Amino acid sequence: MAQETITKIQGPIRAEIKVPGDKSISHRSVIFGSIAEGLTEVEDFLTGEDCLCTMKAFQKLGVEMEFNEPEKKLKIQGKGLAALKASDLDLYLGNSGTAMRLLAGLFSSLPFTTTLTGDESLSGRPMKRVINPLSEMGAVINSQDGKAPLIINPEASSKKLQGISYESPIASAQVKSSLLLAGLNAEGETTVTEPHKSRDHLERMLEYFGADISVSGNKVSLKALNNKNLKAQKIVVPSDISSAAFFLVAGAILENTEIKLLNVGINPTRIGILEIFDKMNVSYELVNKRLIANEPVADIIIKSSRITATTIEGDVIPKLIDEIPVIAILAAQAKGTTVINDAEELRVKESDRVATTISMLRALGVEVEEKPDGMIIQGRDGKAFEPMVDKDLQACMIDSHGDHRLAMSSAVAALHSNKPVTILQTEFVNTSFPGFFELLKSLNHYIGVRS
């Protein structure tokens, strides 16, 4: 079991860094490159374990891929959806809920049997949220009481799925994406309506690759390909704002600090953290805005900030669900009490992120109260840049519970801690952010550097 010990860092810091490519877009680039016709080139592909599992799954189905590690460039030779071939092997998806839910949808439309498996954590996560609507479309999926492994199309039926109009009870990009991918090879039109709009990377990529798709508010409609193929494209994956979030919060809570993060995706469905920054008086700036491969991108400059507490709830939650653990660190440094509501989805992530985030905060000496759908965090009473962890503690140890975002959030807090912080089970960080600890520790190289 890997672990890391992080110690306090003191400025002034002036840094310019780039975090890895967006995980959601990297997953989807492999899927679309595999089912499109022609050569798809993907630059700045995320080599985290989750995305590599998606790559390996399609390679087992006969898709040819070539990856250049130094350049982070992936070439995918697609031959169309019908060219995918059955595999005698199970498709192992590691810890990736995104891969399992999206591929369950796509593979439900194919005329052969596929088995999706995952690690212990993934095997405990709920899959009925995609199984049930896919079954309404005519899919046959066997599971372990709604959990992995998933055996898809065990009857290997050649009968096509039927497009449906689905009212999703939750705003979930994974559910929406699963149904739309199934709809590509279904009869008729597939429509998904959400209570709030979730991240829309799949819709943007569908449009970019030539699918017949329409979007109106929280409603997305897709017409089937009808034996046509999507056309290969070139994709440049922006830096993941969920990964950038750790350095954005670090820049805000550390004194006399300014960090510029390059080429960050600022998709409107993903910038909930920036909306919260606005409410919490965090000083940041978006520069060099542009559109790349149908995704909006910018550089983000973050500066030391005197943070104020707020309430986080409602339709902003789907836009920052992955960032809530590190936003909790931000709230611990705010003046006043921050309340997080409507975050029930955190209960079924890689860990119960409500419980584990609270455990992390308490280990750091933060007062926090648990709620069924979130938490109440007591801030620092306006004492800007006061270090975390009670001075009487000899040391601080945090169990990440195998959750990569908890491990990274703990590390950000450690940069501003009175005592060294040891984080357990850090190997899981590689699922989304390989090289995270090296990049975090490199901030020491920027101490005293002024722009």
What mean pLDDT comes out for the span 225-248?
A: 96
**pLDDT band at residue 346 under the 50/70/90 scheme:** confident
Beta-carbon count within 10 A of 234 CB: 12
CA 185 to chain centre: 26
Q: What is the pLDDT of residue 416?
A: 85
Written out in words, the top-level CATH class of the domain with range 23-223 is alpha beta
Comparison of pLDDT for 108 and 69, the residue scoring more: 108
Q: How far is CA 408 from CA 53, 261, 400, in A?
A: 21, 17, 9
pTM across the whole model: 0.89
- Of 209, 241, 234, residue with least CA distance to 43: 234
Q: Which two tokens stand for residue 275?
A: 């909306």
Answer whether 22's CB lies under 8 Å from 235's CB.
Answer: no
Q: What is the pLDDT of residue 385?
A: 61
- Judging by beta carbons within 10 Å of its beta carbon (0-12, 13-18, 19+), is residue 120 exposed, middle or buried? exposed
Angle CA 102–103–105, to nearest 5: 70
Comparison of pLDDT for 20 and 6, the residue scoring more: 20
- The answer, yes or no, to whether residue 7 has pLDDT greater than 70, is yes
Could you confirm whether 315 is annotated as catalytic?
A: no
DSSP for residue 368: E
Give the pLDDT confidence of 145-167 residue by residue, as tens digits: 999 999 998 776 667 899 999 99
**pLDDT band at residue 450 under the 50/70/90 scheme:** very low
Considering only CA atoms, give the Rg of the chain.
22
Which residue in 322, 342, 390, 403 is the catalytic one?
322
- Residue span(s) of the chain under CATH 3.65.10.10 come to 3-20+238-446, 23-223
- Of 403, 350, 388, 344, residue with least CA distance to 370: 344
Give the pLDDT confidence of 353-396 residue by residue, as tens digits: 899 999 999 998 899 999 999 999 999 765 656 666 554 444 68
* Rounded Cα distance, 360 and 400, in Å: 8
Residue 296: CA count within 13 A, CB half-sphere: 12
Give the pLDDT confidence of 83-101 residue by residue, as tens digits: 999 999 999 999 999 999 9
Kindly state the helix (H) or strand (E) to which residue 403 belongs, with its residue range.
none
What mean pLDDT comes out for the span 399-407?
A: 92
Type of residue numbered 220: V
Q: Which two tokens stand for residue 113?
A: 């049997």
* Rounded Cα distance, 163 and 262, in Å: 40
Fold classified for 3-20+238-446: UDP-n-acetylglucosamine1-carboxyvinyl-transferase; Chain (3.65.10)
**3-class DSSP state of 23:** helix
Beta strands at 295-303 and 13-17: parallel, antiparallel or unpaired: unpaired
Beta strands at 73-79 and 37-43: parallel, antiparallel or unpaired: antiparallel
| CB-based contacts of 426, cutoff 8 Å, min separation 6 | 2, 3, 4, 400, 407, 437
Type of residue numbered 374: G
Beta strands at 311-312 and 337-340: parallel, antiparallel or unpaired: parallel
Question: How many angstroms separate the first and last alpha carbons of the chain?
Answer: 40
| CB-based contacts of 84, cutoff 8 Å, min separation 6 | 34, 35, 58, 61, 62, 63, 110
